[in-house]
Amino acid sequence: MNTEYTRKEVLSDESQIGEQETWMDQVKKLIRQNKLAAFSAVLIVVIILMAVFAPLVAPYDPYAQVLKDRLLAPGKAHWLGTDELGRDMLSRIIYGARISLTIGLVPTLISMVIGTVLGLIAGYYGGKIDFTIMRFADVMLAFPSLLLAMVVMYTMGGGLVNIFIALSLVNWAGTARIVRAQTLSLKEAEYVEAARSIGVKSWTILMRHILPNCLPSLIVLFTLNIPSAILSESSLSFLGVGAQPPSASWGLAVVRGKKYLFTEPWLSIAPSVAIMIVVMAFNFLGDGLRDVLDPYLKEQ
């Protein structure tokens, strides 16, 4: 009895102290409130596992050409049919997930690190540094992103590594703008002023006091930037300036299948649907995360 009372007391104290929800609470809230976002998160995990264990999951070698089996319709042996070189489409789509997810994650991470660092510096130091960084960001944001990425690919040539570089260079400006805006308001907060007054170095203030408060927005932004990177890669590959054969890239598969659209439509539709499912899962998750984590981005 006594123990129970104490526990209740502690709980009520905790709820008073912890009026601000922790991230975990918010994530739990997300799962309760937004079933679609929760389902998307599970789907993303499944796709990631599928990509990691592709050699175990894929029924065939995605690069093995069996010319006698070319352009087979979907059936028992090949669930999604075969392409013009007799390669199993399902296996190629499973392997393609590796490319799409890597492209979604790596360049997004790089561009967000660049954007965050520049946004923090611009917002915190202000003045000429801010002006220079933000005008540079304005220039980057003025380009239609696909066209700029095409120019970068023209300069460096096709291939996956170059797509990494192209997308990292193209997409940092949006993050910089958002982080800068948040830094501008956070640097006026009392705890930052307090830190400054006891002589904490600027870099420590940025890393320890300002950046952690930008993290919820950054997590949401990261989740929403992944699908746009995946779409960019598939668009670049579709236009012939991205991944090069024999890569299992979904965008490349669509453009190769396009030639057979009226006779073997599954060749281009199946990889398109794969792109759509992954992009949609990240969009639903990002949308849900935004609702619970980030009032700032919601206002944007």
Pick one of 212, 245, 265, 295: the residue that binds another protein (CB under 8 A): 265
CB atoms closer than 10 angstroms to residue 183: 26
Q: Is 150 in the site for another protein (CB under 8 A)?
A: yes
Pick one of 43, 85, 109, 280: the residue that binds another protein (CB under 8 A): 280
11-19, 81-89, 110-118, 270-278 -> range binding another protein (CB under 8 A):
270-278
Tokens linked to 181: 């805006």
Query: What residues does 82 pair with on adjacent strands?
Result: 88
Q: Is 103 in the site for another protein (CB under 8 A)?
A: no
Supply the minimum distance, in Å, between the C-beta of residue 156 and another protein. 8
34 vs 91, beta carbon nearer another protein? 34
25 vs 138, beta carbon nearer another protein? 138
77-85, 119-127, 137-145, 203-211 -> range binding another protein (CB under 8 A):
137-145
Give the closest residue to 185 by CA, choosing from 207, 204, 213: 213
What are the counts of helices (DSSP H) followed by strands (DSSP E) for the chain? 15, 0
Task: Please list every residue from 158 through 187 that binds another protein, using CB under 8 A.
Answer: none
Supply the minimum distance, in Å, between the C-beta of residue 255 and another protein. 8
245 vs 265, beta carbon nearer another protein? 265
Task: Determine the 3-state secondary structure of 88 from DSSP.
Answer: strand
CB-based contacts of 132-137 (< 8 A; 24+ apart in sequence): 133/176, 133/180, 134/176, 134/177, 134/180, 136/173, 137/172, 137/173, 137/176, 137/177
CB 61 within 8 A of CB 25: no
What are the C-alpha distances in Å from 126 to residues 4, 129, 189, 195, 280? 54, 6, 16, 18, 38
**Separation CA 97–CA 53 (nearest Å):** 11
Supply the minimum distance, in Å, between the C-beta of residue 12 and another protein. 32
123 vs 288, beta carbon nearer another protein? 288
Q: Is 227 in the site for another protein (CB under 8 A)?
A: yes
**Separation CA 47–CA 138 (nearest Å):** 36
Pick one of 136, 181, 196, 244: the residue that binds another protein (CB under 8 A): 136
116 vs 234, beta carbon nearer another protein? 234
210 vs 241, beta carbon nearer another protein? 241
CB 244 within 8 A of CB 159: yes
Supply the minimum distance, in Å, between the C-beta of residue 51 and another protein. 19
Pick one of 94, 231, 293, 297: the residue that binds another protein (CB under 8 A): 231
CB 82 within 8 A of CB 66: yes
Q: Is 234 in the site for another protein (CB under 8 A)?
A: yes
Residues that bind another protein (CB under 8 A): 36, 135-136, 138-139, 142-148, 150-155, 157, 227, 231, 234-235, 238-241, 251, 254-255, 258, 261-262, 265, 268-269, 272-273, 275-276, 279-280, 283-284, 287
